[in-house]
Amino acid sequence: PTYATPAVLKKAGLEISDIDVFEYHEAFAGQILSNLKAMDSDFFAKTYMGRQSKVTAPPLDKFNLWGGSLSLGHPFGATGVRLATTAAHRLKHEDGQYALVAACAAGGHGHGMIVERYPS
Measuring CA to CA, how many Å separate 39 from each of 32, 44, 82, 96, 116?
Answer: 10, 8, 23, 23, 23
44-51 CB contacts, 8 Å cutoff, 24+ apart = 44/2, 49/2, 49/3, 49/6, 51/6
Query: Average pLDDT per run of 10 along the chain, which is 120 residues long?
Result: 94 97 88 93 96 95 90 75 93 97 80 91
Is 92 in a helix, a strand, or coil?
helix
CATH number (domain holding residue 69): 3.40.47.10
Q: What is the pLDDT of residue 27?
A: 76
Helix or strand or coil: residue 102?
strand
Q: Give the count of domains, the chain.
A: 1
What pLDDT, in 10s, does the model give residues 86-117?
999 999 999 999 999 998 876 667 889 999 99
So what's the pLDDT on residue 70? 79
Residue 20's pLDDT is 98
**Rounded distance, CA 28 to CA 31, Å?**
6
Task: Please report, as a single letter, which amino acid is at residue 111.
Answer: H
Q: What is the pLDDT of residue 81?
A: 87
Domain extent at residue 64 = 4-116
Q: Residue 28: its pLDDT value, please? A: 79
Output the pLDDT for position 75.
Answer: 66
